[in-house]
Amino acid sequence: MKGVHGKPYICMDAYTHMDQLKSIVPDINYGIAKSHALIRLNYGIENHNEYVEDIKGAYNRWRDLETDTRLKQYGLELERSDKVAFHYWLMYQYPVYEALNYLVIREFDRDINEPYLPYDAHKTNPYQCRWTEAASHFPTLIDWAQRLPFQTLGPIVLLLKNSGLKTVRHRDCFLQPEPYDQEEQFIWFDPCGARTLYVENDQGQQILMQPGHSFYWNNHDWHGGVENTNKVSWSMRVEGVFDHTLVQQLKKS
């Protein structure tokens, strides 16, 4: 377990204007409705290349194993013209287990589902960050996010959870097959208190992230969710590089 500053996780409520975020939840819900046509599927967050029953597995199956020329053509047409439509076609053509969708507010100069390395606190990142088309529906969220304690603001993603499904146990190694030495700084938010995540120690014990509504942990540690409800919910991930003052505060916390 790598942890962060000697701890398995850090609650970030004291640093993130949490009361204001809670107050704009209705604005965010309205923005989700206005942006419905821009919602993307979760395309490989678990960092695998197998042919398992999620959207990445469906893509791998279509790309590598499909022999029906009609299906190959359908996929090529949609992949070129409309990535969202392509993902939904994959989901139904090769029926999948799909627990999570994305609504991307800010991303690097590539699709959030394309391979990339996050911003790093100690290394120069080659990517530029941009606001997406969906961002126009979230003015109060953007105003709040720009006042978070990041010296460099990175991607902002709303994680839309389907009902009845847990967050899959995984670790985020991105382009690497195993954990590596890189400090990837981000904050996960759950202003509605609908989700419960855990981080796993070296003995395989689940350490629940509580109490609180926002957390920072090490991407490379195994983590997942214990929620299993009959309701939809959303959480949010904001990436970037923390400002110097915040880093010093977190080291002392």
204-252: per-residue pLDDT in tens?
999 999 999 999 999 889 998 887 667 889 999 999 999 999 999 999 9
Domain total in the chain:
2
Contact assessment for residue 44 and residue 55, using Cβ atoms and an 8 Å cutoff: yes
Contact assessment for residue 221 and residue 180, using Cβ atoms and an 8 Å cutoff: no
Q: The domain containing residue 78 runs over which residues? A: 43-98
Question: Per-residue confidence at 201, pLDDT binned at 50, 70, 90?
Answer: very high
Residue 176 has pLDDT above 50, yes or no: yes
Contact assessment for residue 237 and residue 159, using Cβ atoms and an 8 Å cutoff: yes
Residue 74 has pLDDT above 80, yes or no: yes
3-state secondary structure of 239: strand
Residue 47 has pLDDT above 50, yes or no: no
pLDDT tens digits, 112-142: 777 777 887 777 778 889 999 999 999 999 9
209: domain CATH number?
Answer: 2.60.120.330
Listing DSSP states for 5-55 in one string gives TTBSEEE-GGGTTHHHHHHTHHHHHHHHHHTGGG-EE--STT---S--SSH
Say if residue 167 is in the same domain as residue 128.
yes
**Domain assignment present for 59:** yes
Provide the b/e sequence for 99-111 (b: ≥16 CB within 10 Å): bbbbbbbbbbeee
